[in-house]
Amino acid sequence: MPPFGSTTRVGLAAIAAALAATCPARADDPVPRDAERFAELHALIARSRGEARWMEIDWYPSVQEARRKAAAEGKPLFLMAASGGAPVAGC
């Protein structure tokens, strides 16, 4: 037995066709961006210092290296793991 009845499939097809008709595949006349406007937009979305504090942490891919540094400075060690204990990329 199919997961959807024929009425449901026709309804979904009609919705998909309506959405496709209202959303153009590409702009006919794209607006060119000059360097000044690009710099303005880039500054608007660029990450500023302090915005993502976790990215300012010195991450070490080697647990032994991080452990030596933490012990030398008398600081705690923070471990981050995922996927059943496999290290997260960029730690």
80 is written with which tokens?
A: 């981050």
How many Å apart are CA 19 and CA 8, to the nearest integer?
A: 17
What is the tens place of the pLDDT at every residue in 12-45? 788 887 777 766 666 666 666 688 888 888 888 8
> What is the reported pLDDT for 43?
87
How many Å apart are CA 40 and CA 43, to the nearest integer?
A: 5
Look at 57 and 85; give whichever has higher pLDDT: 57
* CA within 13 Å, CB half, 50: 0
**What is the radius of gyration, based on Cα positions, of the chain?**
26
- Residue ranges of domains in the chain: 6-87
SS3 81: strand
88 pLDDT higher than 60: no
What is the tens place of the pLDDT at every residue in 37-83? 888 888 888 877 777 777 777 788 888 999 999 999 999 988 876 66
